A and B are shown apart, each in its own frame.
Chain A
């Protein structure tokens, strides 16, 4: 039978979560000499031992197709997690169609993510000042720039200096040469005046910090067996363990931050999933990095007589202004790519080129029908054939069968290019998570209920994506395919589907309208910090992971400094 126990030791810091935010906190704090205890709700994971790199889909069930348990395929690095976590439900309020991805494993989503590493630009920190929508961050690009430098130098990001507006360059490793279809699409983009530049991914094109360079097998999503891409276990956590200052507890499901009579965080109560016993681990400082929504859930569940609305929630803003990224897709078929000599087009596990947002001038001139912008990601080429990759041939060939069909498939294989947008969502009051009044998970913890709405800005952005992708495909002499219409809001993604949820405990300069101060320290509880994406004030089109890493680094340095000054 479950029982509640307390551990005798008091740590300097407890970090809840081991993804990008928890990893960087553990890394920086243990190197600064702090004794850290990390709680991870999932199991141990080390990609160098557990990666399914180089395996073939024909050796897996159903040719490695995605299932409910493994939505991104049999070989995906996510061992336990996905849109459904067994025994750990969430609910949607009426009218909401939110999806929530969780990875229950050491390193969280960093094991399988796209490694896209884009700095937010100076405009992105002051969106309200620029267009009167949303909110400003309490920090500027210049405040974060040194931490972007540090993050890039540690995790390793390739790219090229371009000097483009609001698209800051970084400390880049050399970019890999583009694939053939990428060079071609760049020329098509030149025709329609869309910038197309080398992408910026956290994959090593040369060896750094004892980690070897990429061998270009394109399977980063399966985790890297040689640690050549950024992942929290291989880059943050294992080195932190080597300092002797980090203890990692896996299968530890955080339930509540425990607060002392003085209103300070005293420790964390968690359920040990193996025994179902509840433990309390004590520390001088608590860092939440459970992922944006899970962090909000822990705060809302940390109710006490001192904090009846949940911890750090005197503003009522915990869970509020939840954001995801806007997505919309168009598929293209480029006849010019047909029947080319066979070649290995794998490259890194992601795009070698991309298109940053380019309409700043038109926006300033009031010529754009929506606020904010998006970048374009694209893929194609002669990729690894898996389950369900050869459907729809009649759309190109008209139909057919027999020897002629076989000959034709060889010619059209690799002539497809697909485009997807990743755009900024403006925070709105209708999008938030709170505690479901009825539902609990199998650990006896109240679960989140989601409320979510896109605004007209996001929908018009999706339309603009559609128009742009069609224009690029047409400029390359291709055919486009899309189901997007005005009726389905131009194919806009479901809320949560892009897995960029941010903003549920935002930082600010006024305790009345923010949860955290400019150091990601809770206004209401000064030894409580957040290092995941919950502190984000806006959700620029730049994918969140690099900013989580930089901001988490800055917060962790602040914690170390304050601890040394005995201010915490």
Chain B
């Protein structure tokens, strides 16, 4: 985002963006409301009844309820995804993203029917896992599954974006800001002690191993 605030957050793993993509079409920023502002009144714009079933099942496979928070559907993620696909279509002047998502949903049904004679939404949990395990790790997907892994990566992004920007997801993380702080103190000493310990002894994290560096 350029001049504004120096550095702006855009994406968990792509923080520095250039400017937002220029849209060719006129936007409809007032046309859609999120599920959380108009609970119960959501009108679907992209998904039909069957898609909707599949999307709800798939979202909750990606973000199920656990001991800390509820599931994707409980946080309104299917509504977020439907709205977001329509929004991108208007902003970007094409429906490539919607096509990729609808195409991936169609493949889930096709593949599920081939393997177990039932569509994806109606398949049993074991069947769901068997299919997702093929496409949920893009690096290890077979060449034949590559484009379906691409679909799943995008669908996972949408689900995580919808969940963690919801009120429920924000409490789950938790994000503790957007509030007045009377006395800013900088880095919490407990956090810094932990960082110093890791710098001294090294640290093995999800994103790689850090060698000792002090």
> Could you tell me which A residues sit within 8 Å of B by CB distance?
54, 56-63, 65-72, 74, 76, 83, 99, 101, 109, 112-116, 176-180, 182-184, 187, 191, 214-221, 327, 329-331, 333-347, 349-352, 354, 377-380, 382-403, 405-413, 415-420, 475-479, 481, 493-494, 497-500, 543
Complex CA gap A410/B12 in Å reads 12
Specify which of B18, B160, B173, B174 is in contact with A497 (CB 8 Å cutoff). B18
Q: Bound complex: CA of A385 vs CA of B186, how far in Å?
A: 20
A177 touches B136 (CB 8 A): no
Asked if A388 and B194 make an inter-chain contact with CB atoms under 8 angstroms apart, the answer reads no
Q: Is the CB of A67 within 8 A of B161?
A: no
A407 CB contacts on chain B under 8 angstroms: 66
Per-residue 0/1 for B15-38: is the Cβ within 8 Å of any A Cβ (1 yes, 0 no)? 111111011011101111110110
B15 and A62 contact, CB distance less than 8 A: no
Chain A residues whose C-beta falls within 8 Å of the C-beta of B178 in the assembled complex? 54, 56, 217-219, 346, 384
Q: Is B143 an interface residue (CB 8 A)?
A: no
Give B residues with C-beta under 8 Å from A.
1-20, 22-23, 25-27, 29-34, 36-37, 61-64, 66, 68-69, 80, 83-84, 87, 91, 132, 136-140, 149, 152-153, 156-157, 160-167, 169-170, 172-182, 184-188, 190-192, 194-195, 198-199, 203-211, 213-214
The answer to whether B91 touches A67 (Cβ under 8 A) is yes
Contact: B10 with A67, CB < 8 Å? no
The answer on a CB contact under 8 Å between A335 and B27 is no
A179 to chain B minimum Cβ distance, whole angstroms, is: 6
Please, which residues of chain B bring their CB within 8 A of the CB of A345?
177
Q: A217-B181, A394-B156 known; A351 and B6 CB under 8 Å?
A: yes
Smallest Cβ distance from A2 to chain B, in angstroms? 27
In the assembled complex, which residues on chain B have CB atoms less than 8 Å from the CB atom of A378?
7
B61 close to A56 (CB less than 8 A): no
Q: How far is the CA of A443 from the CA of B11 in the complex (A)?
A: 39
Q: Is the CB of A395 within 8 A of B13?
A: yes
B13 touches A396 (CB 8 A): yes
CB distance from B187 to the nearest CB of A (A): 4
Chain A residues whose CB sits within 8 angstroms of the CB of B172 once the complex forms: 406, 410
User: Within the assembled complex, what's the spacing in Å between the Cα atoms of A349 and B6?
Assistant: 9
Asked if A341 and B194 sit within 8 Å, CB to CB, the answer is yes
A-B contact pairs, 9 of them (CB 8 A): A113-B3, A179-B187, A183-B186, A187-B199, A187-B214, A342-B173, A385-B164, A389-B12, A500-B3
CA distance A389 to B98 in the complex (A): 19
Q: Which residues of A lie under 8 Å from residue B162 when comparing CB positions?
A: 63
Interface pair B5/A350, CB less than 8 Å apart: yes
| Given A176-B186, A392-B13: A58 and B8 interface contact (C-beta under 8 Å) | no
Query: Are A392 and B157 also in contact (CB < 8 A) when A343-B191, A416-B12 are?
Result: yes
Given contacts A399-B136, A408-B206, contact A61 B160 (CB under 8 A): no
B69 closest partner in A (C-beta):
A406
Measured CA separation A399–B204 after assembly (Å): 18
Given A68-B26, A336-B198, A215 and B182 contact (CB-CB distance below 8 Å): yes
Closest Cβ of chain B to A186, distance in Å, is 11
Q: Which of A384, A387, A417 contacts B177 (CB 8 A)?
A: A384
User: Within the complex, what minimum Cβ distance (angstroms) separates B50 from chain A?
Assistant: 22
CA distance A349 to B166 in the complex (A): 22
Instruction: Identify the closest chain B residue to A392 (Cβ).
Output: B13
Smallest beta-carbon distance B96→chain A, Å = 16
Instruction: Give the distance in Å from the alpha carbon of A342 to the alpha carbon of B163 in the complex.
Output: 18
Give Cα A182 to B204, complex, Å. Answer: 21
Closest to B182 in A: A215
Docked complex Cα distance between A153 and B11 (Å): 37
Docked Cα-Cα span, A475 to B205, in Å, equals 16
A420 touches B173 (CB 8 A): no
Complex Cα spacing A486 to B12, Å: 26
A219-B178, A388-B10, A389-B12 known; 11 new pairs, CB 8 Å cut-off, are: A57-B165, A62-B29, A215-B182, A221-B5, A331-B15, A344-B177, A385-B175, A386-B165, A412-B206, A415-B205, A498-B2
Q: Which residue of B lies closest to A112 (CB)?
A: B4
What are the residues of chain B within 8 A of A99 when measuring CB–CB? 19
- Smallest beta-carbon distance A60→chain B, Å: 7
- Contact status A398-B139, CB under 8 Å: yes
Residues of A within 8 A of B186 (CB): 176-179, 183, 347, 352
Closest A residue by C-beta to B181: A216
The 8 Å CB contact of B160, one of A391, A402, A403, is A391
A58→B153 CA distance, assembly (Å):
23
Using known A-B contacts A335-B210, A391-B160, determine if residue A72 contacts B15 with beta carbons closer than 8 Å.
no
Return chain A residues, CB-CB under 8 Å to B138. Answer: 394, 398-399
- Complex contact B6–A420 (CB within 8 A): yes
- Establish whether residues A216 and B161, one from each chain, have CB atoms under 8 Å apart when the complex forms: no
In whole angstroms, how far apart are the Cα atoms of A478 and B165 in the complex? 26
- In whole angstroms, how far apart are the Cα atoms of A382 and B12 in the complex? 10
State the Cβ distance, B148 to closest chain A Cβ, in Å. Answer: 12
